[in-house]
Chains A and B, each alone.
Chain A
């Protein structure tokens, strides 16, 4: 009787466990599936050509097929697109319906294109982002003061691939790499730079020769941390300064009041500053900035040890002097 009961109990546990595993894993799978943004059917049609290196067109009169190169600027990486900030959008949410016609009629080229502020400007949904301030900062920056023709938000933030790394809370090194790739997209590539401005491209490495440990700086801080003026109300500075106004004073970063706390580490610093731990603790999880990272306890302990040593030496020398005077008398 007892054996039968034990056996029955074990079977019950086994069945329960199996059911739990099935339900739990199917739940997880369902969640994973539904969380993943999908490319809409109409967008998939666009990507038939726009995700490929080459595309084909059929002549409606002769039936002949011709293959053309899909230029880089018109090519969309479906994986990057679907994981981008606007990845849940369908192509026709932003582009004209006339793009559904193949080949695209020439008229579509003359239609005004959406700009960021059409959706993001004066919109309470995005109040936290302060897009209006971003636009104002951009307007007074070296990129936006009409010094360069056709420079727009898109020039840096490709709407098909843009990811808001600054607010994602991922590793700072990812934020730095992503941001610097935006700058170097033009400043490190003449084919993109020449599209915007007719000027010789400056060699970024020789231009930054003065910087000690150059490669480390390039990997650990963003270009904009030195080349843009910060604004307290926005997370990422958009007021890009002329090169001669960039930060060149090392201690602007290498001090406890490091400007990096108001720029690169702004997102992390709010919650993690702690007077009784490391000064600027937000920086320490990924980097160490001489002068900016100081430990409160180590500062106190070192000052106490230093003071005690000096006091001990002073007392010792006074006693020695008294003994010396006694001897010489």
Chain B
């Protein structure tokens, strides 16, 4: 059995990922605390939650643009490009593997290589989270920090209320993503393999099947 280590996560990307993860956790915790605030069951003191949420949101925006810069100007950008040819079939295969194949001892249909880091399901999810839902969350978040920028009334409803609704819904999807993401990364050669990858940067290729494309 051949073994190879691919260096797929450079240091800057790993640092960004961890900072982003911590900020997301802070934002979700304080966001839930504010949304479900109750004098009888205080989760986090309201004024502290507001300040932490605002600052974490500001830092998340900075962190996002740092990531975007990396995607546009470094080699990691190619991993986020979706190639339409055969994509749907690969996506269905990958979903089938996650939903059934993984229990039947099937091999992962996707081979990690230096050219392709993410499988089709990851590609769709990460692109949606990073290029749609996260920007929606921080754009609406900034608008809520400066509410005078929001249209006052939209079809009889407060513009602030609608902005908050979009912000909360987007935040909810991010929290759902976080839970699924934390679980799905335990699916690998071992439950800890993918955790190690994001900490040390190296992806270990364990068998011939995975190395087919490496040659």
Contact = CB atoms under 8 A, between A and B. Distances in A.
A24 B101 CA distance: 78
Given A290-B34, A316-B183, A210 B47 contact: yes
A285 B35 contact: no
Interface in A293-329: 293-295, 298, 302, 305-306, 309-310, 313, 316-317, 319-320, 322-323, 327
A291 interface: yes
Interface residues of B, number: 37
A313 B183 contact: yes
A317 B183 contact: yes
Interface stretch (A29-37, A52-60, A104-112, A247-255): A247-255
Interface of B, secondary structure class, is helix
A287 B37 contact: no
Contacts of A288: 158, 160-161, 163-164
B23 to A, nearest CB: 19
B73 interface: no
A256 B35 CA distance: 10
A45 interface: no
A31 B47 CA distance: 53
A257 B41 CA distance: 13
A41 interface: no
B172 to A, nearest CB: 6
Interface in A274-300: 284-288, 290-291, 293-295, 298
Contact of B176 (A250, A284, A309, A323): A309
Contact of B161 (A293, A319, A327): A293
A255 B39 contact: yes
Interface stretch (B7-15, B77-85, B102-110, B203-211): B102-110
Contact of A294 (B35, B51, B153): B35
A233 B180 CA distance: 52
Interface in B137-174: 145, 147, 152-153, 156-158, 160-161, 163-165, 168-169, 172
B37 A284 contact: no
Given A290-B35, A316-B183, A285 B47 contact: no
A323 B51 contact: no
Nearest to A314: B183
A137 to B, nearest CB: 24
B76 interface: no
B47 A212 contact: yes
A225 B179 CA distance: 40
A213 B146 CA distance: 9
Contacts of B67: none
B189 to A, nearest CB: 12
Nearest to B31: A290
Contacts of A302: 172
A319 B160 CA distance: 45
Contacts of B16: none
A309 B46 CA distance: 28
A313 B180 contact: yes
Given A285-B158, A313-B180, A212 B50 contact: yes
A313 B157 contact: no
Contacts of A251: 37-39, 42, 46
A254 B105 contact: no
A257 B160 CA distance: 20
B103 A320 contact: yes
A204 interface: no
Nearest to B104: A323
A290 to B, nearest CB: 5
Interface of A: 210, 212-213, 216, 249-252, 254-257, 284-288, 290-291, 293-295, 298, 302, 305-306, 309-310, 313, 316-317, 319-320, 322-323, 327
Q: Ordered nearest first, which 10 A-B pairs have the shortest CB separation?
A: A250-B46, A291-B37, A288-B161, A288-B160, A319-B103, A251-B37, A284-B161, A212-B50, A288-B164, A251-B39
Given A288-B164, A316-B183, 11 more contacts: A213-B50, A251-B37, A284-B161, A286-B158, A288-B158, A290-B35, A290-B164, A291-B35, A291-B38, A305-B172, A323-B102
